[in-house]
Amino acid sequence: MDFSFETVPTFVWVLIAIYFIYWIKNPRLSKNEPPMVPYKIPIIGHTLNYLIDAENFLIECRQKVTTIAGNEAAHEVYKHDDTFNLLSATRDTFPLYRVLKSFDNPETMERVVKTIREGITAKLPLYTGRMQKQLMISINKEIGDCSNPKLIITANGNFSSMIARPVADILGQEISKKEDVIKAFADFTKDFGSILAIPPIFSFIHPKLHTQVITLPLRFGWNPIGKHVITLKKHLKPVLEKRLKDKEILGDKYEPPLDIIEYLLNNPEYETKVVTDDYLNEICEFLFIIIVTSIHTTSRHLTSALYDFAGRPELWEDIYEEQVRIDKECNGELSPQHIDKMMKLDSFLRESFRNFGTVGRIVQTYLADIHYNTTAYGPEPKSFYPYHGLENNFAASKTDKNYFTFGSGKRACPGRFFAVNEIKTCMHKLILNYHIKTPSGKIEKKIHYGTIAMPPDTGLIFENRKKNKI
């Protein structure tokens, strides 16, 4: 065999090249990480498929990897909240802790959950009247008189303001009267989310690198939500000071307002005699955590439900009739019992939620696999069954193994009862007052950014109804 000196390095180079190709074609896993679908394109793996066609990409993953958190495995994942931690998953995908430090603190998050359960969910019946009033203020402001059909461009966040007003009222009655606070609450998540609009182009090297890149401006002092924090602090400080003073002067005669600020002032963890800067920051951050978890989610689901309604003329009369009947029964003043009686609307909403955001989520619950499983939803699981919930006695706020809109298990969304009541009340009033259509007269397509679904952006046409004509 003709063996020259040059042959050795060539041979070594070929070996190195083969090893390198093998290395980049096979994703690297640390101990205890779930298996991955083999890379399609070296280095960038599946980044393009994930961004452009997440729906089909996840179907492919489902076929190749059985442990994806889909219909069977997701239940196990949600049961083991000690191993699969929502907070640390959110840390990378929604790095709010860079500007709201306490968002990263598990203790604060526990207190937020407790506050929502005790201060909102448990008091829901007491908030119904106020919620209704606040929603009507928003509806008149954002949609108003539509004697002539009016196109409302939903992408402008009108529904965030609509949802923000009742939430502000529950957080602090005085601050909800300030229009700049409503705007701050409505825009907060969207403005922070602007950093997430950068496509995950560095994720193909490592997801953490993408997080590092998008948060770089935040680490250099840029704060997209700083102005909202300043607005809230400006209005919150005098409210806190006045309440502390009133309590001191009035003693037993002090009439505590029913809201979260008062709940915190009476809570041993947040009791104070003076409003220092540190105290103000702490309360302000706490309120913004509730804002971030409540407004964007609720307004996205409300908007999507309105599109689902507007694109399905066959449902209009039936659901409208239910609203008129309840409106007559309560004489325009809804009580919690009346909201419970909106059974067709509730069932319609559950179906709208099931069909929304169903591609997947960054926590990587494969929602489509759960929400479109044929065992629960029949051979055509992607069809819209407005009365599936009604026929099976499943309420829109009820979590179960085939319905993960609000998560599952111990960490299921604590605000879901409030969210569903708010959306139902809002839709009840909108359907009573307006004909609502899509511009095309058909069902509009949702928009997908990777695995995240957003409502369509064509806008909705509102036109005044002739009162109670059925």
Q: Which residues are annotated as a binding site for heme?
A: 413
DSSP SS3 for 354: helix
Nearer CB in complex with ligand HEM: 100/146: 100
How far is residue 291's CA from residue 211's CA, in Å, rounded to a whole number? Answer: 23
Does residue 189 contact residue 296 with C-beta atoms inside 8 Å? yes
* Residue 385 beta carbon to ligand HEM: minimum distance, rounded to whole angstroms: 19
Nearer CB in complex with ligand HEM: 51/113: 113
Nearer CB in complex with ligand HEM: 396/431: 396
- Around 9, how many Cα atoms within 13 Å sit in the side-chain half-sphere? 2
* Residue 424 beta carbon to ligand HEM: minimum distance, rounded to whole angstroms: 11
Q: List alpha helices for 26-53, DSSP H.
A: 47-52
Q: Which residues are bridge partners to 400 per DSSP?
A: 403
Q: Counting runs of H as helices and runs of E as strands, what totals does the chain give?
A: 21, 5
Q: Among all chains, which residue has been given the structure tokens 């955590």?
A: 289
How far is residue 313's CA from residue 235's CA, in Å, rounded to a whole number? Answer: 44
Q: What is the DSSP code (8-state) at residue 97?
A: G
List of residues 6+ apart from 274 with CB closer than 8 A: 244
Q: What is the DSSP code (8-state) at residue 96?
A: G
**What single-letter amino acid sits at 54?**
A
Q: What is the DSSP code (8-state) at residue 379?
A: S
Binding residue positions: 413
* Residue 88 beta carbon to ligand HEM: minimum distance, rounded to whole angstroms: 11
* Residue 167 beta carbon to ligand HEM: minimum distance, rounded to whole angstroms: 7
**How do strand 452-454 and strand 434-437 relate by DSSP bridges?**
unpaired
Phi, psi of 452 (to 5 degrees): -95, 130
Nearer CB in complex with ligand HEM: 44/362: 362
How far is residue 15's CA from residue 138's CA, in Å, rounded to a whole number? Answer: 68
Nearer CB in complex with ligand HEM: 91/234: 91
* Residue 211 beta carbon to ligand HEM: minimum distance, rounded to whole angstroms: 19
Nearer CB in complex with ligand HEM: 164/229: 164
DSSP SS3 for 151: strand
Nearer CB in complex with ligand HEM: 395/412: 412
* Residue 219 beta carbon to ligand HEM: minimum distance, rounded to whole angstroms: 25
> Which residues are near ligand HEM by CB under 6 A?
78, 86, 109, 112-113, 116, 120, 290, 293-294, 297-298, 301, 405-408, 411-416, 418-419
* Residue 469 beta carbon to ligand HEM: minimum distance, rounded to whole angstroms: 31
